[in-house]
Chain A
Amino acid sequence: MNLTDFIAAAPEMTLLGLICVVLIADLFIDDDKRVLTFWLSMASLAVTFWVLLSTAPADTTVLFHGAYVSDALSQVMKLSIVGFVAVVFLYSRDYLRANDLHKGEYYVLGLFGLLGMMIMVSAHSMLSMYLGLETLALSQYALVAFDRNNSNSAEAAMKYFVLGAIASGALLYGISWVYGITGTLDFAEMSSTIAVNPELNSLPLWVGLAFLVVGIAFKFGAVPFHMWIPDVYEGARSPIALYIASAPKVAALALLLRILVDGLGVVQDTWADMLMVLAVLSLLLGNIVAIAQTNIKRMLGYSTIGHVGFILLAVFCGTAKGNAAALFYTLTYVVATLGAFGIIILLSRRGYDAVLLSDFKGLNQRSPWTAFMMMMIMLSLAGIPPLVGFFGKLNVIDAVLSVGHTWLAVLMVVASVIGAYYYLRVIWYMYFEDAEDQAVLLAGHDTRIVLSLNAVAVLALGIVPGWLWALCVSVLS
């Protein structure tokens, strides 16, 4: 190994260095100039983005004795994650400032979480995957508890931490079984070992696999390991819920693809059934329970569970098309979710969080453009064309049909119809009801512009989805 090998890992190293700079610089910034920390963090993200673009190796490169990989998939995922986190920071700034929560820790924890996600995305062995996952998870636990005087946040953080620790334990236990059976932590070696010794594909491996799937399902929030999602979304302050609901979904997909497809793809028929059960339960429970919610963050939590069902079904297919569909679905889902939480944050103001569905009443009268953006995002999540959510669902249904599971395709579309009800309810409140609250919506110009771009992206990606789909297919072929 020589020094040039490190270049492939330059984005992570750069980011780590910049986080330390932000952390220390923040100590010397007065409270009233805290916005400097925000701009420093944004600059760090920009630099990381640039480093990602400029140092990407042309071919798949495995580094550090098989611990780290840089390939097309990691490149696409990292670029999108960095972008998503930048948008999260921007949407959060005004809210945090208005609620006296504008502290440097928010950005530093967010950046550490990003580092964890990037490591997960580039993991090539169980160990680095686990380290990345824990870096992300610990940052998230701390973020949820960030508003320490708020009892809801404290409760959510406690639940999240306890359940998260159990899930990490399950994952680690599963890793140890698989390591014991195959004798390696490296995904590529694991795959070839099992392929060469088919007798390994027996009960002990399946036990380990079951624990791995439990850990992954928890990180995704698939039924029956979903309990934390609605509670954390509801309990955490809106910007933190926004963070948790967005970029980490991409990292969770990396966790799924790297472990199950790269590492254990040879035993696909074993884990596929597990994923299918989880996915079907998620589709039904997520979409049905969301109907009963009155808190929009909780509703979006259950809706996430429903969308996870789609992502898992795409990966369940075990085909390149299915994996590409999962990536497309996740990326576009995160774009829509960013917009939804962005608007929730926009409706909030000092001392008041717009978390109830009824806070959306009459939004069309208060701000037609905001209502229109929210409508596009809700329709996209419901899967109505020509918005991008439709193409996500189209690709997943196509992948599932091409492996011959017609009943799953029918189940998916029926679940979307059930899901349409609660998305339509948001539109109903915004358009059909009169406003109870006439307060003017306040936000910086940069937030408004990015939010508008975000909503327009949901429409534009739906009208010209071809390039993104081609990209997803090419990185997963």
Chain B
Amino acid sequence: MNFLAQHILSVLIWFPVLGGILLLIIGDDGDSGSAKAGLMRISALFVTGITFVLSTALYAGFDNTALSMQFVERVPWVEAINAFYYLGVDGISTPLILLTTFVTPLVVISSWDVIKSRPAQYFAAFLILEGLMIGVFSALDGLLFYVFWEAMLVPMFLIIGVWGGQRRVYATIKFFLYTFLGSVLMLVAFIYLYGETGGFDLFGYMNVSLSLTAQKLIFIAFLAAFAVKVPMWPVHTWLPDAHVEAPTGGSVILAAIMLKMGGYGFIRLSLPIVPDGSAYFADLVIVMSLIAIVYIGFVALMQKDMKKLIAYSSIAHMGFVTLGFFLVWSISSETGAGLGMTGGMVQMISHGLISGAMFLCVGVLYDRVHSRQISDYGGVANTMPVFAAFMVLFSMANAGLPGTSGFVGEFMVIIASFKANFWYAFLAATTLILGAAYTLWMVKRVLYGEVANDNVAALKDLNAREFIVLGILAISVLLVGLWPAPLVDMMNVSIEQLLAQISQPKL
């Protein structure tokens, strides 16, 4: 157990990856109903379940008051260029890792008998993806971070491309090339910083002094990588395509975790490594975030496709994350700045739960009717009352109803923006109206009214598997909404430290 305790992060990364490789080796036999396919599903659930259980050790052993990185592992990797296999977590990355290990088993359960072709490869892709995502959140070496960051694209590329909808090839190639173009610029920035510091250590990057010009250029390179990933307006166009074409499980992972990497990148890399560059461009990022919140909110209102609607609502909600992070320089009081940061972080976790749940709800309908068009539904509540209850709850959370997790983060960010500038707060608060409008209007059209057609009349309510997945998510959405203290306490010290780091110019 001692080994496990000291290498918990490595175990969390490599256990799912090895599990995925094992699934690939065993392979498919072309029959989704066979005993072998069943074994694959159970193994995938087993691996993700164990990973989740192991990750609770991370939570249990986490020290909320520690100033330094925890669970650190550091061994030389490519000695010739001073790259280390360097892992560690703090209050910012731990919640995201927990989110990853929490959502992935739910995705496995939700895909249980929905995926008919090549289940072994499908589950293997998710397992490998899970490990790589945890790697991104725990890497403290720039090169290692980049390797996980980029390698992660490949399983998602295959998930959308192999198991996706009609226009999957277009969507997945667009997804890959967009994110790849953003990330390679980040790579150039990393190599430049390597030239400055002689290594890839992220703390080395944070402590080296850089000229304002260098900081601006590095910030732009980081922005290219993270803005695409978040995604921020105007580089968001890959997301609706990717979400619509991805299988349900792919959409959930994409919305719940992969988008968070953009936000994580800003808070882990952009802000501490180039604080002066970030300050210089903060207004730009705030404007982009507000446009995402307001304009994309209107775009979401007009969608006819449920998945597209949720995709656009994700962009609008992620606008709160970037807004919260970049308010720091507009707020004079430190508590206010901390509030914006914490709000952004809570919003990331909350959005991970809610958007995942919303995509799962659409998946439930899609599996039955094979349509995502709002107009193909109507009166679903009559035939699927239990499902309707869940969907209403998640929609309320998506609209930011107090008592759900969606409220906490948005509220914190809006309060923080009031301290910064009235108009920021005014524009940000429109989301309370817009979010309610697009979500609840969709709910009205899909769930309520008369039974629209024979397909809806023939619907069967949730089966046990779906009930469990949605039930777990519903509990967690309420839990974070009613009692966010454990989450916030976990982040506090790390965010204070980050603020201290940012406030010191490093010119």
A and B interact: yes
Cα-based distance from A235 to B181 in the complex (angstroms) = 34
Q: A379-B154, A432-B161, A466-B78 are in contact. Are A398 and B184 (CB under 8 A)?
A: no
Contact bitstring B26-57, A, C-beta under 8 A = 1, else 0:
01100000000000000000000000000000
Select which of A385, A414, A428 is within 8 A of B173 by beta carbon. Answer: A428
Select which of A385, A397, A401 is within 8 A of B147 by beta carbon. Answer: A385
Q: Does B187 belong to the interface (CB within 8 Å)?
A: yes
Select which of B28, B176, B181 is within 8 A of A424 by beta carbon. Answer: B176
- Closest Cβ of chain A to B424, distance in Å, is 33
Cα-based distance from A122 to B409 in the complex (angstroms) = 67
Contact of B177 with A421 in the complex, beta carbons under 8 Å: yes
Given contacts A466-B79, A466-B81, 18 further A-B contacts (CB under 8 A): A364-B121, A368-B24, A385-B150, A385-B151, A386-B151, A397-B187, A397-B188, A398-B81, A398-B191, A406-B188, A406-B192, A413-B184, A413-B188, A416-B184, A421-B173, A424-B157, A432-B169, A466-B77
Cα-based distance from A470 to B217 in the complex (angstroms) = 31
Q: Does A20 belong to the interface (CB within 8 Å)?
A: no
B189-203 at interface with A (beta carbon < 8 Å): 191-192, 194-195
Q: Does A394 belong to the interface (CB within 8 Å)?
A: yes
Q: List 18 A-B contacts (CB under 8 A).
A: A379-B154, A384-B154, A384-B180, A386-B151, A394-B143, A397-B191, A398-B191, A401-B195, A414-B181, A414-B184, A417-B180, A420-B176, A424-B177, A428-B161, A428-B172, A464-B78, A466-B81, A470-B80
Cα-based distance from A464 to B192 in the complex (angstroms) = 22
Contact of B185 with A385 in the complex, beta carbons under 8 Å: no
Contact bitstring A393-413, B, C-beta under 8 A = 1, else 0:
010011001100010011001
Contact of B78 with A384 in the complex, beta carbons under 8 Å: no
Contact of B177 with A420 in the complex, beta carbons under 8 Å: yes
Query: Which residues on A sit within 8 Å (CB–CB) of B180?
Result: 384, 417, 420
Contact of A409 with B150 in the complex, beta carbons under 8 Å: no
Contact of A469 with B121 in the complex, beta carbons under 8 Å: no
Which of A379, A390, A432, A466: most chain B Cβ within 10 A? A432
A339-388 at interface with B (beta carbon < 8 Å): 364, 368, 372, 379, 384-386
Cα-based distance from A414 to B161 in the complex (angstroms) = 23
Query: Which residues on A sit within 8 Å (CB–CB) of B77?
Result: 466
Contact of A372 with B191 in the complex, beta carbons under 8 Å: no
Contact of B185 with A410 in the complex, beta carbons under 8 Å: yes
Select which of A384, A397, A417 is within 8 A of B151 by beta carbon. Answer: A384
- Closest Cβ of chain A to B225, distance in Å, is 11
Contact bitstring B146-174, A, C-beta under 8 A = 1, else 0:
11001101100110011000001100110
Q: Does A131 belong to the interface (CB within 8 Å)?
A: no
Q: Does A465 belong to the interface (CB within 8 Å)?
A: yes
Q: Does A220 belong to the interface (CB within 8 Å)?
A: no
Select which of A413, A420, A431 is within 8 A of B162 by beta carbon. Answer: A431
Contact of B192 with A466 in the complex, beta carbons under 8 Å: no
Q: Does A473 belong to the interface (CB within 8 Å)?
A: yes
Q: A372-B24, A417-B180, A432-B162 are in contact. Are A466 and B80 (CB under 8 A)?
A: yes
For the A-B complex, the count of residue pairs with Cβ-Cβ distances under 8 Å equals: 93
Contact of A401 with B150 in the complex, beta carbons under 8 Å: no
Contact of A469 with B184 in the complex, beta carbons under 8 Å: no
B61-114 at interface with A (beta carbon < 8 Å): 77-81
Cα-based distance from A261 to B181 in the complex (angstroms) = 34
Find the B residue at minimum CB distance from A409.
Answer: B188
B204-247 at interface with A (beta carbon < 8 Å): 217
- Closest Cβ of chain B to A309, distance in Å, is 15
Find the A residue at minimum CB distance from B120.
Answer: A368
Cα-based distance from A469 to B77 in the complex (angstroms) = 12
- Closest Cβ of chain B to A476, distance in Å, is 13
Find the B residue at minimum CB distance from A465.
Answer: B78
Q: A397-B187, A401-B188 are in contact. Are A473 and B181 (CB under 8 A)?
A: no
Cα-based distance from A431 to B122 in the complex (angstroms) = 12
Query: Which residues on A sit within 8 Å (CB–CB) of B187?
Result: 394, 397, 413
Find the A residue at minimum CB distance from B163.
Answer: A432
Contact of A368 with B151 in the complex, beta carbons under 8 Å: no
Cα-based distance from A406 to B158 in the complex (angstroms) = 33
Cα-based distance from A424 to B187 in the complex (angstroms) = 20
Contact of B191 with A401 in the complex, beta carbons under 8 Å: yes
Query: Which residues on B sit within 8 Å (CB–CB) of A413?
Result: 184-185, 187-188
Query: Which residues on A sit within 8 Å (CB–CB) of B162?
Result: 364, 431-432
Query: Which residues on B sit within 8 Å (CB–CB) of A420?
Result: 176-177, 180
Cα-based distance from A427 to B153 in the complex (angstroms) = 13
Find the A residue at minimum CB distance from B187.
Answer: A413
Query: Which residues on B sit within 8 Å (CB–CB) of A398?
Result: 81, 191, 194-195
- Closest Cβ of chain B to A21, distance in Å, is 42
- Closest Cβ of chain A to B162, distance in Å, is 5
Find the B residue at minimum CB distance from A368.
Answer: B27
Query: Which residues on A sit within 8 Å (CB–CB) of B188?
Result: 397, 401, 406, 409-410, 413
